[in-house]
Chain A
Amino acid sequence: MRIVLDDVHLHAGTFSLAAGTIFEEGVHMISGRVGSGKSTLGSALAGLSRVGSGKIVLEECSSPVLLMQFPEYQVTGSTISREISSWGVSRGDPIFSRFDVEMPDRDPFTLSRGELKRLMLACVFAKDPDVLVLDEPYASLDPSAKEVLTCSIESRRGITIVFSHETEYAPNHAERWKIHAGGLHRE
């Protein structure tokens, strides 16, 4: 199971990003300044946007799941229970209690940003895809939820790609990358 970035070039607005590398099974932590193209690369890895040139090849893995930076984008259910069901996962999964997600029939939009983020994180971890792409997953979380997230990332199988500024929370065994000077470099 691996993702091959074959001389990929991404363009959006005034920035461009070149990447030619392989993401093997494990955790990959990618950092970079604001506007460097982290979200664009994440979207391309998830197959949601086209690359300018080159190609992204998923070898022996199913479709990636992307958790977007802003959790509001991904809400399609009118209640928390329906939102969980919309991800095709079971409400009884223990990950929901680890992320301290309650199950009332509340409208997800009445949750705070942090609560909504925890709900979405629990949903994508419950889905347990081969490839999980997380765009700024630590944003809006309190310190205890950040630790839960790090533990959840560490215990996952498959390929996990984390785009984040908050590199201090990265799992110890994570491979670290940096987007710098228009390229993706291993640290």
Chain B
Amino acid sequence: MPEGCIVSDIRLRLLTLVLLSVLSFVSLFGAAAVFCWWLVFGAKTTFAKNSWKVVVPVSIVVGLFPSLVLYFTGGDFFYGAKILVLVLLAFWFSASLLAGELMSFFVWVFGQGIGFDSGMAAEFSVQALYEIRDDFSRMRSALRIKGQKFSLFAVPSLAAGLLILSLRRAGVQSSLLARRGYCSGGTYVSVFSLGVTDFLMLGSAVFLYGVLLV
């Protein structure tokens, strides 16, 4: 069972994500409906693992930029609203991921060869993203120690630090895998734990899909 004994199945969540993404992309009403869905099912999980200081500005900026570009080029201004909802969905899905779920999913889909390799790469990638977030948080603390504020002048040094730390960790991980004799593929037993919430989320997504599209 995934960590914390949380009952959830990535397969159903992924299917829900695909349905909602298509729905929010094809029409503005769809995007509005998916935003409501996110408020009901996704917001709590999203903010449990991400600070609103990250979620809100990133979603608005990523949504606003294409809207402005399209506004000045004669396109659909509300395209940005769709993008905003997609970004919120991405935050929700990444926040809902549990350790080992991607491995289980890829092995289930592609088997013990390519599936194992892809799953491991995906797990390492997610882990690396969390580590970069922690590194960045420590770097901001370091700026506070020096009595400095985060500014554009510090970006090159901070970026170099993040890159070097990430490369060092990747080097350690690859050495460890090589020492253990890893070449490709492996043996992994996929474990999924179906939860009631998964069915509720998927059911509501299918309902919205049916009402608004079909």
Contact = CB atoms under 8 A, between A and B. Distances in A.
Interface of A: 43, 46, 48, 65-66, 68, 70, 72-78, 86-88, 107-109
- Identify whether the interface residues of B are mostly helix, strand, loop, or mixed: helix
Interface stretch (B70-78, B155-163, B172-180, B192-200): B155-163
B154 A76 contact: yes
Contacts of B148: 76, 86
B142 interface: yes
B141 A43 contact: yes
Interface of B: 135, 138-139, 141-148, 154, 156-158, 160-161, 164-165
B151 to A, nearest CB: 9
A48 B141 contact: yes
A144 B90 CA distance: 51
Contacts of B135: 73
Q: Which of B148, B156, B161 has the most CB of A within 10 A?
A: B161
A161 B210 CA distance: 63
Contacts, number: 50
Contacts of A88: 146-147
B141 A72 contact: no
A130 to B, nearest CB: 14
B157 A73 contact: no
Name the 6 nearest CB pairs between A and B, nearest first.
A74-B142, A48-B141, A73-B138, A72-B161, A76-B154, A73-B142
B159 to A, nearest CB: 10
B145 A66 contact: yes
A76 B157 contact: yes
A65 B145 contact: yes
B142 A76 contact: yes
A135 to B, nearest CB: 11
A109 B146 contact: no
A76 B158 contact: yes
Contact of B138 (A68, A76, A107): A68
Nearest to B142: A74
Given A70-B165, A86-B148, A88-B147, A77 B157 contact: yes
A68 B142 contact: yes
A160 B143 CA distance: 21
A13 to B, nearest CB: 11
Contacts of B145: 46, 48, 65-66, 74
B9 to A, nearest CB: 25
